[in-house]
Amino acid sequence: MRNDPFGQGNYQQGGTRRRGGGFNLRWIILLGFAGYAAFYWFSNRVVDPYSGEKVLIDNSISVEEEKAMGLQAYQEILQQERPVDPNTPFARDVREIARRLVSKIPQVEAAIAQERGTQPTGNWKTFEWEVNVIQSDQANAFCLPGGKMAVYTGLQPVAQNADAMAVVMGHEIAHALLRHGAQRMSQQKLTQIGQMAGAMSGMDPQQQQMVMAAMGYGYLLPYARSHETQADEVGLMLAAAACFDPQEAVPLWERMSQASGGEAPPEFSSTHPNPGTRIQNLTALMPKAMEYRQRFCQAGSAGAGQ
């Protein structure tokens, strides 16, 4: 290990020995930053009402601020990628699916919080929901913090039906409800603290990376995967509560993994659990989804004839 980030640790094997003074200073800087990172971590932990786990959300990123950022991003996206005519049948269907999903958020959030013994956040109360369809070959969709959503026309042939579309849109809505955007920003800040520590202590990028891994920054990708698993669960419950058929989720993700065999859009590829695991998780959740469907899908709230 020529580039041992810990300088004169126990296992240096020749050639890279550094002077004692620099070594001490480096450690002081690193410890200072580690202290700051730890402080940042512990002072910004909140209980996530959906998972019941403690998650990192920077106190300075309020729901309102997040919403403003989401709105700004949405306007930029809609300027670059023109939405289709909102009166096309597909755009109407997508809006109706969104409306049904959104109408079940209060009940689903309350039910999940009760299962986990947490308090519902009610973050969605400030959301201003909107959904546009964007012309694109990508099988993709998103929901930004604050409730601004988009579905790409390329998702239509993969989803094939309203139930599967509801599963995807429920997944996207869940990301916004669970404040995954704010969590990612908070993680990035933590990563920046680490990078700053590395740079200030005079490490080269390779050494920095090794230290980051040693300090526990290697959790970023698994963390993103856990966001996906949570969004799958909450999204599935929303779809079921809104009277869609949750069983469509399994064939949907099978089609999705086939469709994304080539060039997959980021939301459904890199950070996502491997398709087998995802389908296994969803299959395990099916009894609960059917229970939610029975409990919350009352007569009259189904899609037909509205």
Which residues of the chain form contacts with Zn ion (CB under 5 A)?
A: 228, 231
What is the C-alpha separation between 99 and 115, in angstroms, rounded?
A: 25
Least distance to Zn ion, CB of residue 171, Å: 6
DSSP 3-state of 47: strand
Nearest residue (CB) to Zn ion, 109 versus 233: 233
* 12 CB-near residues (< 8 Å, 6+ apart): 1, 4
Q: Which residue has the tokens 């999903």?
A: 101
Least distance to Zn ion, CB of residue 149, Å: 13
Nearest residue (CB) to Zn ion, 190 versus 231: 231
Least distance to Zn ion, CB of residue 277, Å: 14
Least distance to Zn ion, CB of residue 258, Å: 18
Least distance to Zn ion, CB of residue 152, Å: 14
Among the listed residues 125, 115, 105, 120, the one whose alpha carbon sits nearest the alpha carbon of residue 242: 105
Nearest residue (CB) to Zn ion, 228 versus 248: 228
Least distance to Zn ion, CB of residue 3, Å: 36
Nearest residue (CB) to Zn ion, 273 versus 303: 273
DSSP 3-state of 173: helix
What interhelical angle do 162-177 and 105-116 show, nearest 10?
60
Among the listed residues 180, 182, 160, the one whose alpha carbon sits nearest the alpha carbon of residue 249: 160
Beta bridge partners of 152: 134
Nearest residue (CB) to Zn ion, 176 versus 231: 231
Q: Which H or E run contains 56?
A: strand 54-56
What is the C-alpha separation between 33 and 183, in angstroms, rounded?
A: 20
Nearest residue (CB) to Zn ion, 162 versus 231: 231
Least distance to Zn ion, CB of residue 198, Å: 30
Residue 247, token pair as written in the block: 């069983």
> Which phi-psi region, left, alpha or beta, contains residue 204 (left: φ > 0; alpha: ψ -120 to 50)?
beta
Nearest residue (CB) to Zn ion, 12 versus 136: 136
DSSP secondary structure code for residue 149 in this structure: E
